[in-house]
């Protein structure tokens, strides 16, 4: 069923010609179908727009100027594709249940969203949560971030990892894998820890509960990172082993730095002024000093993490969305089946 979301003719946008006459060698070898923004937008078909401008203003993150035009061009075709994929997976699950002679049960469809700090993962995830919940076969969609599985600051400080927050070693990977395993097994009311960006730490005794949704969207920096293979051939599963579909949101380094600094400077005038904010000290800096601090944080922490850990996982995603400097998605790459 999922294949029906793609055009089949030799002249269809983004697809390699059937006769191979005009094939680009790189395109021929690529595991992805490549689409321009216009080609991808054409795949919306008759999918209705179910979000209003007010909905979008509530869903977008600070300094992420997403528009309804972007939703129509990029996110509606994606919601259509995912609705088809989910329906096909639900059918496969029911067929497997019949084969096994099992009854009942429900396995959530899990979507992973990865990408750099300041790329716009949160906005993407919230918009897709809203759109997918409006499809008739997936009325219950939940969203969670992996931030809650960061080790508490006290642990990071004790292990000298505060300057590597967001790197793979700063997470409780075992707890995250256990959580995803329970969700994928269809267990009821699976709890996950909660992270506060205000205090920049895990909130003690606070939990988010995932209760057998139709779709669970998992947003995080390192969710596509593979584990190192164990010498005995066994090893732990990857976080992405529990995903049915994965998205990598990509942008150029210069753009990401600019967006990070712009967001930092805006937060300096707003959230950083809260007395409880971990970043309160930056609110009183001069504009020049604050910008210098933001660039230092970006280059010493976020850029390093991007180059060492995040960007190498891009090729593992089912879908890659590439942003231009105007924040709009300029290119879409969909993994071939």
Structure tokens at 292: 């210098």
At residue 8, the pLDDT reads 33
Higher local confidence (pLDDT), 18 or 126: 126
At residue 5, the pLDDT reads 38
At residue 106, the pLDDT reads 76
Give the span between the Cα atoms of 2 and 12, in whole angstroms: 16
Compute the CA torsion angle 31, 75, 112, 211 (nearest 10 deg): -140
- With contact defined as beta carbons under 8 Å apart, do 49 and 79 qualify? no
Give the span between the Cα atoms of 194 and 179, in whole angstroms: 13
Which residues have CB under 8 Å from 197's CB, separation 6+?
147
Between the alpha carbon of residue 143 and those of residues 60, 94, 209, 267, the distances in Å are 14, 24, 10, 24
**Residue with token string 């029906």:** 4
Compute the CA torsion angle 170, 174, 180, 182 (nearest 10 deg): -150
At residue 51, the pLDDT reads 84
Kind and range of the H or E run holding 82: helix 76-100
Is pTM beyond 0.85 here? yes
pLDDT interval class at 239 (50, 70, 90): very high
Eight-class DSSP state of 157: H
List the chain domain ranges: 2-335
pLDDT in tens, 155-191: 999 999 999 999 999 999 999 999 999 999 989 999 9
At residue 231, the pLDDT reads 64
Higher local confidence (pLDDT), 14 or 166: 166
Eight-class DSSP state of 333: E
DSSP-derived 3-state class of residue 112: strand
pLDDT over 60 (residue 236):
yes
Give the span between the Cα atoms of 275 and 52, in whole angstroms: 35
Rounded to the nearest integer, the mean pLDDT of the chain is 88
Give the span between the Cα atoms of 301 and 297, in whole angstroms: 6
- With contact defined as beta carbons under 8 Å apart, do 318 and 245 qualify? yes
Eight-class DSSP state of 171: B
Structure tokens at 22: 């005009």
pLDDT over 80 (residue 62):
no
pLDDT over 50 (residue 57):
yes
**Residue with token string 């060492």:** 308
Structure tokens at 212: 């057998």
Kind and range of the H or E run holding 173: helix 173-184
Structure tokens at 318: 């089912």
pLDDT over 90 (residue 143):
yes
Higher local confidence (pLDDT), 245 or 25: 245
At residue 52, the pLDDT reads 83
**In the CATH scheme, what architecture does the domain 2-335 have?**
3-Layer(aba) Sandwich (3.40)
Give the span between the Cα atoms of 71 and 61, in whole angstroms: 14
Give the span between the Cα atoms of 290 and 276, in whole angstroms: 19
DSSP-derived 3-state class of residue 163: helix
pLDDT over 60 (residue 287):
yes
């Amino acid at each position: 069923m999922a294949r029906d979301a793609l055009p089949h003719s030799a002249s269809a946008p983004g697809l390699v010609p059937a006769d191979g006459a005009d094939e680009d060698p790189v395109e021929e070898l690529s595991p992805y179908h490549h689409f321009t923004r216009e080609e991808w937008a054409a795949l919306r078909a008759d999918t209705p727009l179910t979000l209003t401008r007010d909905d979008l203003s509530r869903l977008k993150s600070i300094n992420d100027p997403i528009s309804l035009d972007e939703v129509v061009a990029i996110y509606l075709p994606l919601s259509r594709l995912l609705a088809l994929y989910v329906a096909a997976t639900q059918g496969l699950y029911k067929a497997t249940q019949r084969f096994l002679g099992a009854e009942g049960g429900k396995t959530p469809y899990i979507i992973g969203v990865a990408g750099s700090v300041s790329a716009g993962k949160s906005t993407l995830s919230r918009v897709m949560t809203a759109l997918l919940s409006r499809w008739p076969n997936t009325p219950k969609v939940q969203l969670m971030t992996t931030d809650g599985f960061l080790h508490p600051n006290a642990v990071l400080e004790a292990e000298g990892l505060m300057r590597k927050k967001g790197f793979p070693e700063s997470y409780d990977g075992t707890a995250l894998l256990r959580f995803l395993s329970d969700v994928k097994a269809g267990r009821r009311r699976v709890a996950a820890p909660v992270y506060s960006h205000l205090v920049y730490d895990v909130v003690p005794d606070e939990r988010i509960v995932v209760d057998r949704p139709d779709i669970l969207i998992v947003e995080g920096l390192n969710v596509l990172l593979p584990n190192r293979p164990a010498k005995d051939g066994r090893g732990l599963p990857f976080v992405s082993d529990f995903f049915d579909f994965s998205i990598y949101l990509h942008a150029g380094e210069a753009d990401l730095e600019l967006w990070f600094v712009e967001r930092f400077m805006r937060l300096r005038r707003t959230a950083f002024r809260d007395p409880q904010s971990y970043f309160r000290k930056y609110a009183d800096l001069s504009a020049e000093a604050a910008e210098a601090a933001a660039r230092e944080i970006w280059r010493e922490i976020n850029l390093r993490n991007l180059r060492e850990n995040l960007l190498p996982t891009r090729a593992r995603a089912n879908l890659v969305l590439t942003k231009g400097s105007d924040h709009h998605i300029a290119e879409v790459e969909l993994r071939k089946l």
